[in-house]
Amino acid sequence: MSSQLHITNGDSFTQRLQELKLKGDIITWREMLCEGKTETNVGSEAFWKTRFDFLHKNYNVSKSWFIEKTLKEYRSLCNHKQQDEIVLWFEYDLFCQINMLAVISWLKTHRRHAQITLACSGNQESGEQLLGLSELDEDQIRKLYDQRVELSQDDIEYADYVWQLYCSDNPIRLENLTDFENYHFDYLENSIQAHLKRFPSIRNGLNELENRVLKAVADEKPTSKKALMKFLLNNQGWYGFGDSQYQRILTNLKPLFSSFSPVRLNKTGKDILDRKTSYYSVIRDNEAYLGGALKYNFLYNTDSGRILKL
C-alpha cells in the first residue's frame, strides 16, 4: 500500500477531511502569502522571518501564536519524509493559488521523488458558481479526491517558476505569462490577473479591491460595517479574502468615510470613486509589498490592463 500525506488550505477543511477518514496524515498550510512580502526560498529562516515581521506588524500576530500555529505545522511537514503521494487541497481563488504555488515550490526542492496530486475546488458540475472546499458536501469532496490530477514534472517546474516571478521585484514579468493552458492549473491565470489589479489604479490611486469597497458603499448603502463586510465577502470573485483582510482595507480607507453606522462616503471619498481626484499620494506606503514587488512603485492601467513602472 502506498502512503499519502494531505496538505490542506486551512483548518476548517482539515476538520472536514478528518471526518472523511481518508488514509494518510494531514498537514494544514497556515499562511496568507497573497498578502505582504514574500521570499522565493519557502521554508528558509529568511522566509519565515519576513513573514512573521509582516504578520506581526499588520495583523498583530504574536511570536508565540506564529510558532504554535504556523512553524510547528511546517516542522511537522518537514518530518513527513516517507509518503509516496502528497495530495494538495486548494481552491480557485488568489488566496489559495498563491499558497499552492509556494507549497509546490517547497515540494520541488524537498520532496522531489514524491508523486504530487492536486485536488482543486472551483467549477463543480452542479452549476456556474465557483465553490470553496468547505462549501462541498461529502460526496463532492470524495469525487474531487477520486478525480485529483497528478502533477507532471513540467507542472511542478511551472508552478515554481510562477512563484519565483510572484516573489520578484517586477510584476510586469508575471503580466507577460501566457501559457497557463499548457499546465494543470485551471484557475491560476484568473488569480494572477486578480493579483495584478491589486496595484494602484492609474485613475485614482486605489486598487481594484479598494475601489470595490467604495463602490459597494455608494451602491448598496449598507446600514452597518457588518453589513458592508458581509457584502464584500460574498461578492469578491477571485480574491478569497477573509474578514481580517477586508478590515485592514477599511482601516486604510477610513478617512474617506463620513460614517460607519450607516456606512457612507464623505465628499473626498465620492470624488475619488468618481475619479475626480487621486488618493495615491495619501495612501502610498513605501513598505507595502505584494509578493516581492513594492505596491506603490507600479500603477495598473485599467484601460489597457497593463502594469506601468513608476
Q: What is the pLDDT of residue 173?
A: 93
* DSSP line for 161-218: HHHHHHTSS-THHHHT---GGGSS-TTHHHHHHHHHTTSPBTTTS--HHHHHHHHHHH
Mean pLDDT of the chain: 95
- The per-residue pLDDT for range 165-186, each reduced to its tens digit, is 999 999 999 999 989 999 999 9
Q: Report whether pLDDT(21) > 60.
A: yes
Residues 73, 9: Cα–Cα separation, whole Å = 12
Q: Report whether pLDDT(63) > 80.
A: yes
- The per-residue pLDDT for range 267-307, each reduced to its tens digit, is 999 999 999 999 999 999 999 999 999 999 999 999 999 99
- The per-residue pLDDT for range 201-244, each reduced to its tens digit, is 999 999 999 999 999 999 999 999 999 999 999 999 999 999 99
Q: How many residues does the chain have?
A: 310
Q: Report whether pLDDT(126) > 80.
A: no
Average pLDDT, integer, range 46-51: 98
Query: Strand pairing partners for 25?
Result: 5
Q: 281: buried, middle or exposed (CB in 10 Å: 19+, 13-18, 0-12)? A: exposed
Domains of the chain and any CATH numbers: 4-193 (3.40.1360.10), 208-283 (1.10.10)
Average pLDDT, integer, range 112-117: 95
Q: 61: buried, middle or exposed (CB in 10 Å: 19+, 13-18, 0-12)? A: middle
Q: Report whether pLDDT(1) > 60.
A: no
Contact 36, 55 (CB under 8 A): yes
Q: What is the pLDDT of residue 123?
A: 85
Residues 56, 24: Cα–Cα separation, whole Å = 33
Contact 166, 101 (CB under 8 A): yes
